[in-house]
Amino acid sequence: MTAEASQAGPSEGPASDGLRPLRIALLTYKGNPFCGGQGVYVRHLSRELARLGHRVEVIGAQPYPVLDEGHDGLRLTELPSLDLYRQPDPFRTPKRDEYRDWVDALEVGTMWTGGFPEPLTFSLRARRHLRARRGDFDVVHDNQTLGYGLLGDLGAPLVTTIHHPITVDRRLELEAAGTWQRRYSVRRWYAFTRMQKRVARRLPSVLTVSGSSRQEIVDDLGVRQDRIHVVPIGADTDLFSPDPSVPVVPGRIVTTSSADVPLKGLVFLVEALAKVRAEHPGAHLVVVGKRPSEGPVAQAVERYGLGDAVEFVKGISDAELVDLVRSAQVACVPSLYEGFSLPAAEAMATGTPLVATTGGAIPEVAGRDGETCLAVPPGDAGALAAGLSRLLGDPELRARLGAAGRERVLRHFTWARAAQGTVARYREAIARAGTADTRPAAPAATLATPPGRTAAPADRDTAPAGAVSLPAAESSDRESRATC
């Protein structure tokens, strides 16, 4: 047990459910809260778990998670990789003195041969770290690492979140690959999904974020249905909220998308915009994401002459992101598939009317066509264009869908609800493992662990009693998901 854990002792104060607070290890091999759903999940879930009275230690690799400050019992432990995909030198070759052990060599070797090593190598480092800290945690929560290292005895019961099977991404990228060389590259990159299938089938408790994802996990990964529990995630409804003082820009359509990921369907939205502008010449698209220099999206922008009508933004703050969504007449989610769709929930939470496809779990989030959104088939630029044109031309419909969308998010999709559902599954896993302490907690004090960051020691075979406390991340003017 670490010196910090020893000094803090067992948590005394009651959790929100009246039971003893839990000591939670929340693992994430990629923690950037501004780039993809996994980092957003860790940031908001960890905060809400701490608000419920639990002690949460997020253990992550680069890009490190950014945690919200001001919550007792919430901290970050950095478990560094070689960070082979960092900017500005992705796919770099490390210097000799950077290698620490055989896991580092495995990481580099897998990258050199075209594979993606991080789920496996993070799982191996995490196992070593957790075993060295046996007794520090009541439950280990893995955020979709699904690596071999997390099988076996970790010193605490394991609960795993699978947002959706990455096999879906692999399938869609293979369908979009135009050459045999590209198909080979995609297969090699996604080779780690074979490991994830094998690991998933052996997991005792799986959380997922939607009914659609649950069925995909059964079909693609072969996990038994009775081991999968749906705990929907949510939007930060305090941040993503209506603000009448923000002027709405006529013709503005906003989307959050990775241009180089076929699954996101951005190329269909660009094609739809060209059709919309025939009826609404002022229509223009703002994409929260990185501008592509090549590929299908860049080609579509050039082909339809939309260089002045499509803008990509990145490096903006959370507040700027929210104001951008508020300023749009319409928000759009053009994805071919989503396991949940945070952009849909966040747009609806601001009161911005939504046009969304029916890909994957999007209907579970966005609701019924004509009631809380306009729903269109995925991969259909004509249908997207019709929905966008209809909303741009009908202010009463925009107002009605915007208000109904926010009400739906407030009712069903908040991070507080997600945290409560997650804790219930933690307690089930602990009870099943026979390590439960389910006695009601005595009324008492706050958790003793201060927020902040801890660096895992370089020699992770030893317990991290001498871990170095690092300054907490600055909370002001953080970059948004647009930094990706």
User: How many angstroms separate the Cα of 211 from the Cα of each of 43, 317, 383?
Assistant: 23, 32, 25
Give the pLDDT mean for 411-427: 97
Q: Which helix (H) or strand (E) holds 57?
A: strand 55-60
pLDDT score recorded for residue 471: 34
pLDDT digits (tens, 9 = 90+) for 42-74: 999 999 999 999 999 999 999 999 899 888 899
- What is the DSSP-derived secondary structure letter of residue 249? P
Please write the tens of the pLDDT for every residue from 268-303.
999 999 999 999 999 999 999 988 888 999 999 999
Q: What is the pLDDT of residues 71-100, one digit of tens each?
A: 889 999 999 999 999 989 999 999 999 999
> How far, in Å, CA of 204 to CA of 213, rounded?
17
Rounded average pLDDT over 3-19: 49
- Given a contact cutoff of 8 angstroms between Cβ atoms, the answer to whether 351 and 406 are in contact is yes
Interacting residues of 268 by C-beta distance below 8 A, sequence separation 6+: 334, 379, 380, 381, 384
Mean pLDDT of the 312-316 span: 89
166-187 tens-digit pLDDT = 999 999 999 999 899 999 999 9
Q: Phi and psi for 142 in degrees, rounded to 5?
A: -95, 125
pLDDT confidence of residue 457? 58
Q: What percent of the chain has pLDDT over 70?
A: 85
Q: Is the pLDDT of residue 12 over 70?
A: no
Task: Report pLDDT for 32.
Answer: 76
Confidence of residue 455 (pLDDT cuts 50, 70, 90): low
Tens-place pLDDT, residues 189-229 = 999 999 999 999 999 999 999 999 999 999 999 999 999 99
Chain segment 218-257, per-residue pLDDT in tens: 999 999 999 999 999 999 999 999 999 999 999 999 999 8
Higher-confidence position of 9 and 206: 206
Its sign, for the CA torsion 174, 176, 180, 181, is negative
* Average pLDDT, rounded, for the chain: 88
Kindly list the strands in the beta sheet with 452-455, ordered across the sheet, starting from the edge strand earlier in the chain: 228-230, 206-208, 158-161, 139-143, 23-28, 55-60, 74-78, 452-455, 468-470
The more confident residue out of 125 and 258 is 125
**How much is the pLDDT for 35?**
63
**452: pLDDT confidence band, cut at 50, 70 and 90?**
low
Q: How many CB atoms lie within 10 A of CB 30?
A: 23
Q: Are 168 and 220 in contact (CB under 8 A)?
A: yes
**Whether the predicted pLDDT of 482 surpasses 50:** no
Determine how β-strand 374-376 pairs with β-strand 354-357. Answer: parallel
At residue 34, the pLDDT reads 64
Other CB atoms within 10 Å distance of the CB of residue 7: 9
The pLDDT of residue 13 = 54
Interval 295-312 mean pLDDT? 96
pLDDT at 112 over 90: yes
Q: In this model, does residue 376 exceed pLDDT 50?
A: yes
Q: Which domains does the chain have, with CATH numbers?
A: 3-233+414-483 (3.40.50.2000), 252-412 (3.40.50.2000)
Residue of 105, 393, 375, 417 lying closest to 233 (CA atoms): 417
pLDDT at residue number 38: 86
Residue 119 pLDDT > 50? yes
pLDDT exceeds cutoff 80 at 475:
no
What pLDDT does 122 receive?
98
What was the pLDDT predicted at 435? 52
